[in-house]
Chain A
Amino acid sequence: MILPIGPIHPGLKEPLRLKLHTQGEKVLKAEIDYGYVHRGIEKIMEGKTWQKCIYLAERVCGICSYEHTQTFAETIEKISDVRAPVRAQLLRVITNELDRIQSHFLANSTYFKAIEHETLFMYVLSLREHAMDAIELLTGNRVNMGWNVVGGVRMDAKNIHLDAILEKISLIEKDLDRYTEIFSEGPLVGLRSKDVGKMTREEALKGRAVGPIGRASGLKHDLREQHHTYRDYLDFDPIWRKEGDNYARTMNRFDEVAQSIDLIRQAIDVLPDGDIRTKVDIGSGYAEWRNEAPRGEVAYMIETNGNLIKHISIRTPSIMNIDSCAKFMLKDVATVSDAVATYASADPCIACAERVAIIDVDKGETSKDIYNLK
């Protein structure tokens, strides 16, 4: 029997249709339909200046909006062959890690909601508020910050802001260990999560899984290692696990939150005085840039003529993660409720995923299944 869930369903955050092939309560396999929130942002951006596009890039994703502006700015900086001042780079790191903290907390709390542990859901969400407050103090707004520009950041952080951020992250750190322990040591919670929705390393490679989902399956791959700021100024080593089940994915995110807190402290320690923004003469040409967003790799491919964006293509991590979730995680799952929890553990973000389609020119067919490529 095929059990459809969605597109509008309380179990899902965003519109998407999940078709579960079931035999009794057991889920044999799953299919996923996209196409409910396609917005055509890339097309809107064409023919606009970067000053307008950077605000639109922020609205690609509703949760990890920050990383899009940074990647956009760094792509244009690569075309123009300049680099932001060191202070701006480190301020970008601080905001990026704060954004990662709130995104991981949101993903984990959604997972706890999916396994019906409402206490942890509320606990983790209230912990997320501290991260949101810190972002609001630094940049002015909670989600769409408008903080990055090509050549640096928009506003300088004063000492009171940095002190407030340190205070907020110490508040997070105080409770983080306890909540992680509730999840990892709690017998029922652990039982509900271990060995559910398992994805092996080979399957993760085949499904091109990225971010915490790939790292929980044993892919030690984090683009922050290759980023110049992290490489030059910060001590960083990616966190990864071998199990590849729901438990590993959730714990990987909790561990990355602790690492992000450490990275923010390091960045504030080495933060130098100086300019936060350089004037950039926008060059013309084509460039690609990749960054590690909370969900994985974000890639921007931009072609400009020196003033206007001629062509832009955005690759977001969720599309690979959701597809590998449908193909490999939702396979022989014991119950339907476990299938929904597995889907939530893959941290799907539909709004930014709606951009892939494979068009067969000869046959005139369009499909969204990237694994049946010939």
Chain B
Amino acid sequence: MSSVIWYLYEFARKSFFEGVTDAKSKHDIVEKPDRFRDFPEVLKEYCIACGACTQSCPSPHAIKLVRDGDNDDGEGQTYPVINTRACIRCGFCAEVCPTEPKTLLCGENHLIREEFNIIPSKRQYTVDDFLCIKCKKCIKSCPVDGAIIERDNKIAVDQSKCISCGNCLEACPVKGAMKGVFIDNLEDQKAIIRLVVNTLEEFIESKEDELQSLPSEKLLKLQLPLSKIWDKALQILPDEEVALEVIENATDRLKIRIITWDESKCEKCRLCVDECPTGAITYSPDENKVERDSDKCLRCSNCYQTCPFSVVKYFIAKFLLDEVDGEKVILITLKESQLANR
């Protein structure tokens, strides 16, 4: 009987009615530990749009750089946006963020000293229209909206929006179609290219005897160690990465034409003298001799096509920078022109 009274008393209490009328669930106050890594917090105003966070993120589509619209005052602000559905809360973006103070805060990760840092690059990215196959892989790989655009059936990079992350260069399936050009020291880069071309020409001309004895349809393969150019190139531009890439790009696209002259076969018919557009080939009646001034020669191959006695031989040289036995060398392949079979 007494239990029933206590039971009724429980209902009669004021707190019971308060509980029924003001029924609200209270929030638990849960304290986060100091080092808890939540989703990264973005502080827009410090962002320099370097793309280090998008580069470092291990989860696809978790972080993306967006850019507010431009107005009269200036450029719009670029800043990262976290997609919380894809983010795995690793905090790596906060660790690599190079700004001071950090744009991204995540647990204690933004306090960690940086070991792996992606800094803005010195390159400018451009598309070679001649080689581009319009596969649009660069557009898909680009982390910034509208940095690579398709206009008039051409792919182009909008330099004002590009953050120089280099994703497009990795995505491009055609070698040379997307170029990452170093924009500093352009004159020095030209000097290096000139040095490379001159050294290669001298090297090939020193092997003229081998070229003369080369049977047609055979290739002549030569090697020039890079160390012969390397020291001089570093004197011009003391940046190993840039110098190596300039040499590599130069040798990739380079073709050198070589013309050799076999005096013993010449019958002094003088057909080539009239054909030569620069007057490099002359005939001296006193000595009864046809002479060629190689400094004036344009290597147009007119004399080669005219000569009925195959005095002239015409070669095309191609190059490749490669590593042989742990040493970088320029591989040279020389081939007689196919015009001989006319």
Q: Tell me if A146 and B58 are in contact (CB < 8 A).
A: no
What are the interface flags for A41-72 relative to B under an 8 Å C-beta threshold, 1 for contact and 0 otherwise? 00000001101110110010000000000000
Residues of A within 8 A of B116 (CB): 49, 51
Which chain B residues in 107-153 approach chain A with CB under 8 Å?
107-109, 112, 115-116
Residues of B within 8 A of A180 (CB): none
CB nearest to A146 among chain B residues: B90
What are the interface flags for A136-150 relative to B under an 8 Å C-beta threshold, 1 for contact and 0 otherwise? 111111001010010
Indicate whether A279 reaches chain B with its CB closer than 8 angstroms.
yes
Q: A52 touches which one: B34, B92, B109, B112 (CB < 8 A)?
A: B92
CB nearest to B35 among chain A residues: A140
Q: B37 touches which one: A48, A51, A140, A151 (CB < 8 A)?
A: A140
C-alpha gap A136/B33 in the complex (Å) = 7
CB nearest to A50 among chain B residues: B116
What are the interface flags for B34-59 relative to A under an 8 Å C-beta threshold, 1 for contact and 0 otherwise? 11110000000000000000001110
Indicate whether B300 reaches chain A with its CB closer than 8 angstroms.
no
Q: Tell me if A55 and B92 are in contact (CB < 8 A).
A: yes
Indicate whether A154 reaches chain B with its CB closer than 8 angstroms.
yes
Q: Tell me if B35 and A52 are in contact (CB < 8 A).
A: no
19 residue pairs bridging A and B, Cβ less than 8 Å apart: A49-B116, A51-B58, A51-B92, A52-B58, A53-B58, A55-B92, A56-B58, A136-B33, A136-B36, A137-B35, A140-B34, A141-B37, A144-B90, A146-B109, A151-B115, A154-B112, A155-B108, A277-B115, A279-B115
Residues of B within 8 A of A138 (CB): 35
Residues of B within 8 A of A137 (CB): 33, 35
Q: Tell me if A140 and B36 are in contact (CB < 8 A).
A: yes
What are the interface flags for B85-110 relative to A under an 8 Å C-beta threshold, 1 for contact and 0 otherwise? 00011111000000000000001110
Residues of B within 8 A of A56 (CB): 58
C-alpha gap A163/B42 in the complex (Å) = 34
Residues of B within 8 A of A277 (CB): 115
Residues of B within 8 A of A155 (CB): 35, 108, 112
Which chain B residues in 186-217 approach chain A with CB under 8 Å?
none
C-alpha gap A155/B37 in the complex (Å) = 13
Q: Tell me if B58 and A48 are in contact (CB < 8 A).
A: yes
Q: B35 touches which one: A55, A59, A139 (CB < 8 A)?
A: A139
Q: Tell me if A146 and B112 are in contact (CB < 8 A).
A: no
Q: How large is the interface on A (under 10, 10 to 19, 20 to 34, 35 or more residues)?
A: 20 to 34
Given the known interface contacts A51-B116, A52-B92, A55-B92, the answer about A140 and B107 at a Cβ–Cβ threshold of 8 Å is: yes
What's the minimum C-beta distance from B22 to chain A, rounded to whole angstroms? 33
Q: Tell me if B107 and A52 are in contact (CB < 8 A).
A: no
What's the minimum C-beta distance from A298 to chain B, rounded to whole angstroms? 20
Residues of B within 8 A of A51 (CB): 56, 58, 92, 116
Residues of B within 8 A of A53 (CB): 58
Q: B36 touches which one: A141, A144, A154 (CB < 8 A)?
A: A141
What's the minimum C-beta distance from B52 to chain A, rounded to whole angstroms? 12
CB nearest to A45 among chain B residues: B58
C-alpha gap A144/B37 in the complex (Å) = 10
What are the interface flags for A254-293 relative to B under an 8 Å C-beta threshold, 1 for contact and 0 otherwise? 0000000000000000000000010100000000000000
Which chain B residues in 1-58 approach chain A with CB under 8 Å?
33-37, 56-58
Interface of B is mostly: loop
Number of A-B contacts (CB under 8 A): 51
C-alpha gap A139/B107 in the complex (Å) = 10
Q: Apart from A55-B92, A141-B35, A146-B91, what 7 extra A-B contacts exist at CB < 8 Å?
A: A48-B58, A55-B88, A138-B35, A140-B37, A141-B36, A144-B90, A146-B37
Closest 5 CB pairs of A and B: A140-B35, A52-B58, A55-B90, A55-B58, A140-B107
What's the minimum C-beta distance from A168 to chain B, rounded to whole angstroms? 13
What's the minimum C-beta distance from B47 to chain A, rounded to whole angstroms? 21
What are the interface flags for A120-143 relative to B under an 8 Å C-beta threshold, 1 for contact and 0 otherwise? 000000000000000011111100
CB nearest to A151 among chain B residues: B115
C-alpha gap A141/B35 in the complex (Å) = 8
CB nearest to B88 among chain A residues: A55
C-alpha gap A151/B34 in the complex (Å) = 24
What's the minimum C-beta distance from B45 to chain A, rounded to whole angstroms? 26
C-alpha gap A155/B109 in the complex (Å) = 8
CB nearest to B34 among chain A residues: A140
What's the minimum C-beta distance from A281 to chain B, rounded to whole angstroms? 11
CB nearest to A59 among chain B residues: B88
What are the interface flags for A5-19 relative to B under an 8 Å C-beta threshold, 1 for contact and 0 otherwise? 000000000000000
C-alpha gap A174/B100 in the complex (Å) = 48
CB nearest to B113 among chain A residues: A277
C-alpha gap A140/B107 in the complex (Å) = 8
What's the minimum C-beta distance from A164 to chain B, rounded to whole angstroms? 10
Q: Tell me if B88 and A144 are in contact (CB < 8 A).
A: yes
CB nearest to B36 among chain A residues: A140
What's the minimum C-beta distance from A277 to chain B, rounded to whole angstroms? 8
C-alpha gap A155/B108 in the complex (Å) = 8
Residues of A within 8 A of B112 (CB): 154-155
Residues of B within 8 A of A144 (CB): 88-90
Most buried by B among A49, A136, A138, A155: A155
C-alpha gap A140/B95 in the complex (Å) = 15
What's the minimum C-beta distance from A80 to chain B, rounded to whole angstroms? 13
C-alpha gap A49/B33 in the complex (Å) = 30
C-alpha gap A144/B91 in the complex (Å) = 11
Q: Tell me if A52 and B37 are in contact (CB < 8 A).
A: no
Which chain A residues in 92-145 approach chain B with CB under 8 Å?
136-141, 144
Residues of A within 8 A of B115 (CB): 149, 151, 277, 279
What's the minimum C-beta distance from A17 to chain B, rounded to whole angstroms? 29
Residues of A within 8 A of B35 (CB): 137-141, 155
Residues of A within 8 A of B92 (CB): 51-52, 55
C-alpha gap A53/B219 in the complex (Å) = 46
What's the minimum C-beta distance from A323 to chain B, rounded to whole angstroms? 31
CB nearest to A52 among chain B residues: B58
C-alpha gap A154/B35 in the complex (Å) = 11
Q: Tell me if A140 and B108 are in contact (CB < 8 A).
A: yes
Residues of A within 8 A of B91 (CB): 146
CB nearest to B60 among chain A residues: A44
What's the minimum C-beta distance from B246 to chain A, rounded to whole angstroms? 22
